[in-house]
Amino acid sequence: MLSGGTAVEKSILRNEVKALVMARDAAPRSKEKYILLAKEKSIPIFFYASRDELGKLLGKPPRAVVAITDEQLARGVAGAMERGDAGL
């Protein structure tokens, strides 16, 4: 799992990302950028909580986007998001 704009973007371009989780309050330009990259690479993208909450979930400062690189973890997150399990 990666967070931080540069690391996430590089990982997307290297086709390492299985899913993206983006904070609902991410900046509009960030949302546009990652939505476009996700579409280009056929990466599922999920919106979750706020930047503060996303960072707290990772034990880090606020984060706008998180890249999941593990296939099994990506499937688990996708299932949790589809069920509406806010606790992931």
Domain for residue 21, yes or no?
yes
Residues sharing a CB contact under 8 Å with residue 69, sequence separation 6 or more, in sequence order: 1, 2, 11, 16, 17, 18
Residue 24 forms part of a structural domain: yes
Q: Is residue 88 part of a domain?
A: no
Whether 43 is in a domain gets the answer: yes
pLDDT for 81 beyond 90? no
Q: Considering the domain boundaries, does residue 34 fall inside one? A: yes
The per-residue pLDDT for range 12-62, each reduced to its tens digit, is 999 999 999 999 999 999 999 999 999 999 999 999 889 999 999 999 999
Q: How many domains does the chain have?
A: 1
Range(s) of the domain holding residue 6: 2-83
How many beta carbons lie within 10 A of that of residue 17, not counting itself?
A: 25
Which CATH number do you get for residue 16? 3.30.1330.30
